[in-house]
A and B are shown apart, each in its own frame.
Chain A
Amino acid sequence: MTTESPVLISLRQVSKTYRKNGREFHALRDCSFDVMKNEFLVIVGPTGCGKSTLLNLMAGLDFPTSGTILLEGEPVTGPGADRGVIFQEYALLPWRSVLKNVELGFEFRKNGMNQREREDEAMKYLDMVGLGYAVKKHPGELSGGMKRRASLAMILAIKPVILLMDGAFNALDSKTKMTMHQEITRIWETEKNTVVFVTSDLDEAVKLADRIVVLNRDGSIASVLRNELPRPRLGSAARDLDFHHRFIGFRETVMNVIKKDAGLRTCAIS
C-alpha cells in the first residue's frame, strides 16, 4: 500500500512559449512548485507575467511547451471536473436561471440524478454561497458580487478536488470583495478543498494565502513564501494591532520580492 502524498499538483520546469507575429514570447520560464492538499495557494505577480497562463495549464485548457504537470502523480492531459475553474469574467449562461446554471455540471454527468435531486443539490450550494434568495433570477439581473457567488456555487457543485480561481474578485467593489474573502475562506475551511488563487492584489493575497508564489515579470518564479499569519485573518481579527503589524510586515516582504524584480528590470534597461 502506498502512503498518500500530500502533494496534489506538482509542476516541474514548466515553460510556456507563445508565437506572436513570428516572435517568441515567453509566458512562463522553468516554473517548479507543488500545490499541497487542502492548501490555499495564491499566485501573485505583475500583470502579464503569466499568472493566468499558469492557471490554464493546471486546468488543462492549455499545455506547457516544456516541463511536466502532475495531478496526483498523473500527467494533466486535459480539463476535468476534478479541477473547477472560476474565470476572471464570470461564465454564467445567460439563458439559464441561477439555479439552472448551478445544475449544469450535473447534466454533463451520467450519474442518474433526477430533476428533483439536481435541484436540491444545486440549492445546497446556492445556500452555501448565500444566494438562495435569487435562484430564479437570470444572470443579466444579478450584480457583480451575485454573479461571482453564482459562478462559485456552479463550480463548487461539481465537487472539484481543487479550485482554480483566476482573478475571481477583481472587478468587485471593496466591500463586496471583503465579503467574498470571508465566504471563500469559510467554504475552503468547511469543504476542505484545495485552492489556487491568482491575483495582483497583495492585500488579498496576504489575507487568503497559506503560501504565496511570486512570479517575475519574465515568467519565472521569484520566490515561494509561507504566510505565517494566524487565522482567522478577516473581520474582527484584522483589528488586532499586533496582527495588523504582522500583516503589514508580511505584505512588505512580498512587496520587496516584487520590487526586486522591478528594480532589476529597470537596471537592465538603463
Chain B
Amino acid sequence: MLLFPGIYPKTIFPEVMAKQNDTRQKNSNGLMALVADRSFYVLGVILFMIVWQIAASLKLFGADFSEAFSPLAAILALIEMIKNGELIHHALPSLRRVLVSLSLAVVVALPIGVLVGYFRRIEQLTYVVFQFMRMISPLAWMPIAIIIFGVGDVSVVFLLWLVAIWPLILNTSHGAGRVSPLWVNMAKTMGALDMGILRKVIIPAAVPDMLTGLRLAVGVSWIILVPAEMLGVSDGLGYFILDTRDRFRYDQLMATIMVIGMIGYLLDSANRWLISKFSWKI
C-alpha cells in the first residue's frame, strides 16, 4: 500500500495509473482523508519557511543582513508590529485605498464594458484606444497624477483606479460580446427592447467575466499599491517599506513583505469564492 498516494509522480503507464487511482479512491473516504489531502498545502508553506530559514542561517543573504532577513526574525517583528499597532496603522490605509479605487473602477468600468461588448460600433470606436492605454504602466502616469492631484491619497487612488479599470472593462466587454445570439434573438421575439436585453440577458450572462476581471483588477491593484504608496503619503504598507528601510529595521521590512503577500492572497481567495458563488455554468 502506498503511504502518501498523492506524492508519487503522475505516470503515463496505464496499469500504474489505474493503481494510483485505486489507492486514491480507497483513501478518499471521510474527513481524515480530506485533511490528509489538504495538509499538503500547509506542508508546502512549512517547507518554504524551512528552506528560507536554512538559507538565512547559512548567511546566503550576506553576512550582515542574513540575521534580519530570516523568517524567524520576520515573525518576531510581525508580532511586535501587531502588538504596538503599527501593522493596523499601515495596513488599513492600504486596504482603504485599494477598496476605494476598486469601487470607483467597478462603477466606471462595468457600464463601459457592457456597452463596448454589446454595441459593435462602440467597440470599434474604443478598441485601439483601450488596447493602447492598458499597456501603459500606471506608474508612468505618476508625475501627471501628482501635478493634477498633488502628493497624497488622491494620487495613489487615481493610479490604482487607472490600473484596475482595464481588466474590468476588457473582461466585461468580452463577456457581453460573446453572449449567445440565440439568447438575444429569443429575448427579441419575446418583445424585449435593447434595455431589457441588456438588463435581463447581456449583463447576467457577463457576470462570470466581470468577476474574472475583478479578480485580475484586485491582483494588479494590490501589486501597484506598494510603489504607488511610495509617492509621498505618510502611511500604508508601501510607505512602511521605505520607513523600515530608513530605520534599518530589515526584520520589519521582511514582516511587511509577508503581510503584503498574505493580504493579497486573502483578497484573491475572496475573489475566487465570489467566482465560485456567482458564476453560472452551462
Binding site for B on A (CB under 8 A): 59-61, 78-81, 83-85, 87, 89, 91, 93-96, 104-105, 107-109, 138-140, 154-155, 158
Contact = CB atoms under 8 A, between A and B. Distances in A.
A89 B182 contact: yes
Contact of A87 (B182, B190, B191, B204): B182
A83 B196 contact: no
B214 interface: no
Contact of B201 (A80, A93, A154): A93
Interface string B129-157: 00000000000000000000000000000
Contact of B282 (A78, A109, A140, A155): A140
A168 to B, nearest CB: 13
Contact of B185 (A81, A85, A138, A158): A85
Contacts of B18: none
Given A93-B201, A104-B190, A79 B281 contact: no
B183 A91 contact: yes
Nearest to B187: A108
B207 A105 contact: no
Given A91-B185, A108-B200, A81 B282 contact: no
Contacts of B204: 93, 95-96
A129 to B, nearest CB: 17
A243 to B, nearest CB: 36
Kindly state the interface size class of chain B when it binds its partner. 20 to 34
B205 interface: yes
Interface in B177-216: 180, 182-183, 185-193, 196, 200-201, 204-205, 207
B127 interface: no
Interface of B: 180, 182-183, 185-193, 196, 200-201, 204-205, 207, 280-282
A60 B191 CA distance: 11
Nearest to A88: B182
Given A79-B185, A95-B204, 18 more contacts: A80-B189, A80-B191, A81-B190, A84-B189, A85-B185, A85-B186, A87-B182, A87-B186, A91-B182, A91-B185, A93-B204, A93-B205, A95-B280, A104-B190, A107-B200, A108-B192, A108-B193, A158-B191
Nearest to B281: A140
A87 B185 contact: yes
- Nearest 8 A/B pairs, CB to CB: A81-B191, A95-B280, A91-B186, A79-B188, A108-B192, A85-B189, A105-B190, A79-B189
Query: Looking at B183, B188, B190, B191, which has the most chain A CB atoms within 10 Å of its CB?
Result: B190
Contacts, number: 65
Contacts of A79: 185, 188-189, 191
A109 B195 CA distance: 12
Contacts of B281: 94, 140
A47 B207 CA distance: 37
Given A94-B281, A140-B282, A108 B191 contact: yes
Contact of A61 (B183, B189, B193): B189
B191 A61 contact: no
Contacts of A104: 187, 190, 200
A150 B166 CA distance: 39
A95 B205 contact: yes
B189 to A, nearest CB: 4
A158 to B, nearest CB: 5
A107 B196 contact: yes
Question: Which interface residue of A59, A84, A104, A138 has the most chain B CB atoms within 10 A?
Answer: A104
B117 to A, nearest CB: 17
Contacts of B183: 91, 93
Contacts of A80: 189, 191
Nearest to B186: A91
B282 A94 contact: yes
B120 to A, nearest CB: 17
10 contacts: A61-B188, A79-B189, A81-B189, A85-B186, A89-B182, A91-B182, A94-B282, A95-B205, A108-B191, A158-B191
- The winner among A60, A79, A107 for most chain B CB atoms within 10 A is A79
A81 B188 CA distance: 8
Contacts of A87: 182, 185-186
Contacts of B205: 93, 95
Contact of B280 (A78, A85, A89, A94): A94
A84 B190 contact: yes
A94 B180 CA distance: 11
Contacts of A61: 185, 188-189
Nearest to A151: B186
Contact of A108 (B182, B185, B196, B282): B196
Nearest to A89: B182
A107 B193 CA distance: 11
Nearest to B196: A108
Contacts of B191: 79-81, 105, 108-109, 158
A251 B20 CA distance: 58
